[in-house]
Amino acid sequence: MPLPAPLVDALTDHGLSPQAHAPLQRRTWWQVGGPAECFLRVGNLEDLRAVARLCSTHKAPVFVLGNGTNLLISDRGIQGVVIQLTRDLAKADPLPADPTVIQAGAGTKLAVLLKKALRHGWTGLEVFAGIPGSVGGAVRMNAGARLGETREVLHEVDVVLPDGSLRTLPAKDLNMAYRHSDLPRGAIVATARFALRPGDPQTMRDQVQAHLDHRARTQPLDQPSCGSTFRNPPGDYAGRLIEASGLKGYRVGDAQVSEKHANFIVNLGGATADEVRAVIEHVQHTVKAQHGVHLEREVHFAGDWSHWPLAGA
Ligand SMILES: Cc1cc2nc3c(=O)[nH]c(=O)nc-3n(C[C@H](O)[C@H](O)[C@H](O)COP(=O)(O)OP(=O)(O)OC[C@H]3O[C@@H](n4cnc5c(N)ncnc54)[C@H](O)[C@@H]3O)c2cc1C
């Protein structure tokens, strides 16, 4: 169903600049996928609340795009309103009343946040070293790696609900687990506060650098991907199972299981979202057949996948 014209008018009247049929391909790290029916940059909390309320009133779906590092957007694109948080919602600063707490807009890139904490000598955010997402995406995914997870440093979040109301939720209420958090239905993370401790800046920098070096040695960081495609099953590694199934280098069109790290699917240049999804499903099918293990996806699918499965697939 096309977006109602009164919604577009109301968004425009509010001072926002909705863009119709905006390409999203370059906004995702896989560099695949179709356009947003309507794309909006939202730069402050009041505008975010208004967008949520207006979309809800006009029954238009809202999708929040973080930094696009964990998303497979369909080649048909995303219906409804796609928002990305900028300006005031993409800044991070220590709280004046308690500088061990850093408050960050959900659109803040994790690398920017980490740099700020290192500069102030506060430890805790090293868990984000090398993770290319945004704060909102990290909360949603409980992002983490060898140095720890979001839940270990997150204190609380402010979320905007579909009726435009604002709610503060302590981290313990989000049931954060391995690459999982329970946000209220339709909630958009607007701000997050992280509780840190004083640390030794040189030790922190060394730890981050060692972690980044390890990533550069083991991950195909020079090719478009969304990081780990699958969650690790209990007691095992998705990458080990994929490699043991002989799938390194398996390819559909320009989407390929990385030769360097089998849990990464890389875009060799001209891949489509359908090709990436075909590789994902072939990997799941093969690992299940050979090892009896169902690999759950870590990456989120977004947009219109109603044409799937493809005829003849
Ligand atoms: C090279 C590479 C390495 C990676 N390494 C790691 C790693 O080590 N550990 C790890 O955990 N992940 C890793 N990732 C995956 C990814 O960076 C994380 O999952 C990250 O948290 C996703 O954040 P994002 O902003 O890019 O979210 P997106 O991909 O844009 O979105 C992911 C989901 O979060 C939702 N979302 C985003 N912002 C908000 C918000 N403000 N409110 C509500 N929902 C929101 C989206 O709607 C979507 O459902 C890697 C990815 C790449 C490309």
Question: Which token pair is 191?
Answer: 């701000």
Phi-psi category of 273—alpha, beta or left, where left has phi over 0 and alpha has psi -120 to 50? alpha
Enclosing H/E stretch for 101? strand 98-105
Tell me what pLDDT residue 309 has.
86
Q: What is the CA radius of gyration of the chain?
A: 20
Mean pLDDT of the chain: 96
pLDDT in tens, 113-148: 999 999 888 999 999 999 999 999 999 999 999 899
Cα separation, 5 vs 267, in Å, equals 37
Report the predicted TM-score, pTM, of the whole model to 2 decimal places: 0.97
CB-based pocket (< 6 A), ligand 1: 29, 63-71, 106, 131-134, 136-138, 140-141, 143-145, 188-189, 221, 225-227, 300
Contacts made by residues 86-90, CB under 8 angstroms, sequence distance 24+: 86/41, 86/42, 86/43, 87/43, 87/44, 88/43, 88/44, 88/45, 89/42, 89/43, 89/44, 89/45, 89/48, 89/190, 89/191, 90/134
**Between 4 and 84, the higher pLDDT residue:** 84
pLDDT in tens, 246-288: 999 999 999 999 999 999 999 999 999 999 999 999 999 999 9
Tell me what pLDDT residue 120 has.
85
The confidence band for 312, taking pLDDT boundaries of 50, 70 and 90, is low
| Best residue for ligand 1 mutational test, from 140, 157, 185 (most atoms within 8 Å of Cβ) | 140
Asked whether 242 and 283 are in contact (CB, 8 A), the reply is: yes
User: What domains can you pick out in the chain, each with its CATH number?
Assistant: 5-87 (3.30.43.10), 91-204 (3.30.465.10), 220-313 (3.90.78.10)
| Best residue for ligand 1 mutational test, from 30, 74, 141, 160 (most atoms within 8 Å of Cβ) | 141
The confidence band for 310, taking pLDDT boundaries of 50, 70 and 90, is confident
pLDDT in tens, 45-77: 999 999 999 999 999 999 999 999 999 999 999
The string of DSSP letters for 280-296 reads HHHHHHHHHHHH--PPP
Tell me what pLDDT residue 3 has.
83
Cα separation, 116 vs 137, in Å, equals 19
